Amino acid sequence: MSGSCGNHAKFDGVSEEYKRRLWIVIAINAVMFFVEIGAGHLAQSQALQADALDFLADALTYGLSLAVIGASITVRTGVALLKGLSLLLVGAWVFGSTIYRIFFSSVPAAELMGWVGILALAANCVSVWLLLSYKDGDANVRSVWLCSRNDAIGNIAVMVAALGVWWTASGWPDLIVALLMASLFLSSAIQIIRQSLEEKRTAKKHQIQCT
């Protein structure tokens, strides 16, 4: 029955198809990090650089997710907690650096922002499509989905920022979008951390009941 020993687990990623798709998503994120970090510097866009960091963080954390598939619930929730904390740090860094750029900023290159934003959105739409069937699962699997969803939202935001920069001839739309992206990172980090801690508590309680 529900809640009995061995019958309470969520999908933990133990699937060859899921692993194959995760490898593809890792490759997409790694390539897009290099594309966006270079374009971000050329365009002087804080939003692009924030999105590039998100691509890098995702590639690294997806690799961790892949490494712990099939491991114990303690290991998986520990890794998910680590990913949540790292996303929290990324969000805090983006927030802080954007505040700094408010006082020391130039007008970004809107055209380059827009084209790179379109490319990144296409890459993330592919990632979201690949992972859509696996959006519900344990904290480890759930964190992968949340990061991919954030990327797609972030790329749409970059395109909006590019349009705003072009329309206003000002760097403010870029900075505002970067702050919104930082808020999204922080919100997702809190969700991942909460689910990780809850699963850790549940697993410990279940282990006590089954001994």
pTM over the 0.85 mark: no
Looking at residue 1, the DSSP 8-state letter turns out to be -
End-to-end CA distance of the chain: 18
- Orientation of helix 46-67 relative to helix 172-209, angle to 10°: 20
- Band of pLDDT at residue 5, cut at 50, 70 and 90: very low
Torsion sign across C-alpha atoms 170, 176, 178, 181:
negative
Name which of 89-93, 138-142, 207-211 the model is least confident about.
207-211
- More confident site: 83 or 40: 40
Does residue 203 contact residue 74 with C-beta atoms inside 8 Å? yes
Q: Which residue has the tokens 């989905």?
A: 145
143-168 pLDDT, tens per residue?
Answer: 777 777 777 777 787 788 888 888 88
Q: Please state which CATH class domain 16-209 belongs to.
A: mainly alpha
On the question of pLDDT at 4 being above 70, the answer is: no
Provide the residue ranges of all domains of the chain, joining segments of one domain with +.
16-209
Residue type, 194: R
Instruction: For residues 62 and 149, give the distance between their C-alpha atoms in angstroms, rounded to a whole number.
Output: 13
On the question of pLDDT at 8 being above 60, the answer is: no
43-61 pLDDT, tens per residue?
Answer: 888 778 877 877 887 888 7
